[in-house]
Amino acid sequence: GPQVGAPNGPEAARADAGSQLSPGEHAPEKGDTGGDSVAGRVGSGEGSFDFLPPSTAPEEILEHLESLQRKLREREKEIARLQEERAKAEKLTAEVKILRTLNHELILQSSPYVELQQQAAKLEEAVVVRTAEVDELRRELLHEQKQKDEEFEKLLTETKEQTEKLLEKMKTLTDELQSACVDREKALFEGERLRQELLHRKLSQEEQETVFAQRCVQLSKLKMQHEQLKNAGTQMLLRNERMRKERQTLIEAIRQKATCKIRSSDLDHHRIQNNYFELFYVVELWVEDELICRLKLRLQAEERQKQEGVSTANAASAHEISSSSTPSPTAEKVEPANDPTQNCVSGVTGTSAASPSSSPRDVPRDSLHGGSLLSLDALELPGLEGDAETVEVQMAKMKLEKDALQRRLADYDQLVVEIAGLREQYARVSEEVEEVSKAFEERQTFCEHLLKQVKEKDEALADLRNRNASFLQQQQMLSRLSRLHDQKLLLLRQQYEQTTTNSRVYADALQQANVRVTLADQQREEATSVYQQMRTARDTLYKEKEEALAKLNTVVEANKVLDAAAQESLARRNAAENEARALVDAKVELEKRIDRLKAKEEKQDRKRGRKLE
């Protein structure tokens, strides 16, 4: 409680009260209700003497004042006693405080308490460390167990998924393998078929190539023969033009000679001219008949050749074309055709020599068409009569000229025959060339068709090669798939073994973890037992501490009670002081009133004395 200095006596209290209170002021608030009422009554001035008796006799007032003085002394004694009790209580509270602080400090500073505190701190630290370790171990074990559970679940899910995937892959691979086997068999069958077809086409292609080569050779030969015939035709045309020019020159020369001879003779000019024109007319007819005869012979020779060539009509086309296009047999056959013409010419000359007296007018035209018995010897020029020598000379000249003309005509006939034969041969060759060109076009179309077939065969061969390549690729893919399938099976087996080893390792680790958990549980139980022991020791310490605190609380309560008693005593003291002040003030007022009364009585006595005087 608050330490308040104890007063030394009633005089100090009175002095304090006099110093604290001034006349006309209220009393302090502390104190009893009686003190407050007294202070209230005293502070009101003259109206505060209500405690005095209502009588105004001074004896009574003196008695009453004496009684009040006695009460005041008693109150002062009581106030002194209370102040002493208060001082004692304050001393006791100070001693209790000192003892409490001393006991608390002694308890706190005592070695057992310090050792207990140190042990408790150590135990608490050890318990905290052990609890932290246990919590950390528990968390680690739970974390490891959770991780291993998650890993095991992941492994299980992965193994399940992988097994399902591998089963699906095995199913798909088996299906693909079966389909690949079927495709392989189909491809083998197709390859065999294509191989047979390829062999057949190769054989047919070789045959067609040989035929095509033969046809190409034949066409090249025909082209060469055609070129040769074209060259021969051009040469024959040039030769024909040249012979035509020579014929014209020869006819002009004969005409000139005939006109000169006719002019030199004395015969009839008109008759000679007519005979001359008849001669040339006969010569032209003879030339035409010779040409017709030779053409007939040529046609007969060609018919014989055709009859002979019927037997060999079924030979190879290349041999037929080469035999028909070669000019050697035609030239050999033309020569015997020319022989009868020469025989005919000789026969004509013989017949003309046998009948020199026949005239050209008597020779019918049908004989010219019927046979080749006409000659220039049968022609006699009338009007050449005269001397025998001159006539003979003229006849010799005419014969010489006639022989020359016959030779030239024979040459010309040969040339005409050759030209006609060449024309016919050219026409036939042109027809053959047209046929050959048609055949060539047909062969070209056939060759184009063959080329198309060859291209198709090449495409088929390329397709076959592609198919063979694809078949080889499929075989390689099948072998690769089989290898991959085997590798996947090996991988699956290895993965299964790895999963089994992982599961075993996980089981071993789980068992070791369980062992560690049991050890950790044992350690935790030991730690908990140690913690319980430490906790019990701490609880005992706390109980002792609480008991000490309870004792301290009781001391504090007692101190509070003492403080309350001191407060009450202080309040009583204050009330007593207030009452003492009130009494002192009342005493002072009474003394003043007594003095006034004494002065008043003295005045009255004086007045009375004066009155009496």
Distance CA 55, CA 572 (A): 32
Q: Are 577 and 10 in contact (CB under 8 A)?
A: no
Looking at residue 290, its pLDDT comes to 58
- Does residue 568 sit in helix, strand or coil? helix
Task: Using alpha carbons, select from 447, 456, 585, 606 the residue that is nearest to residue 24.
Answer: 585
Q: What single DSSP character describes residue 53?
A: -
Residue-wise DSSP of 108-157: HHSHHHHHHHHHHHHHHHHHHHHHHHHHHHHHHHHHHHHHHHHHHHHHHH
Distance CA 291, CA 298 (A): 10
- Residue 378, Cβ density class (10 Å: 0-12 exposed, 13-18 middle, ≥19 buried): buried
pTM of full prediction above 0.85: no
Amino acid at 503: S
How far, CA to CA in Å, does 1 sit from each of 100, 202, 556, 562, 563? 14, 138, 10, 8, 5
Looking at residue 342, its pLDDT comes to 41
Looking at residue 395, its pLDDT comes to 67
Amino acid at 1: G
Looking at residue 68, its pLDDT comes to 74
What phi, psi does 21 have (nearest 5°)? -105, 135
Low-confidence ranges of the chain (pLDDT < 50): 1-49, 266-274, 276, 310, 313-386
- CA-only gyration radius of the chain, Å: 90
- Residues whose CB is less than 8 angstroms from the CB of residue 577 and which lie 6 or more positions away in sequence, other chains included: 13, 16, 17, 31, 79
Taken in order 604, 605, 610, 613, the sign of the CA dihedral is positive
> In whole angstroms, what separates CA 405 from the centre of its chain?
105
Looking at residue 553, its pLDDT comes to 75
How far, CA to CA in Å, does 471 sit from each of 5, 183, 188, 196? 128, 9, 8, 17
Looking at residue 536, its pLDDT comes to 82
Q: Are 510 and 148 in contact (CB under 8 A)?
A: yes
Through-space distance between the first and last CA atoms of the chain, rounded to whole angstroms = 72
- Does residue 387 sit in helix, strand or coil? coil
Q: Are 574 and 4 in contact (CB under 8 A)?
A: no
The angle subtended at Cα 490 by Cα 484 and Cα 496, nearest 5°, is 135
**What six digits make up the tokens of 600?**
């008043």
Distance CA 3, CA 94 (A): 8
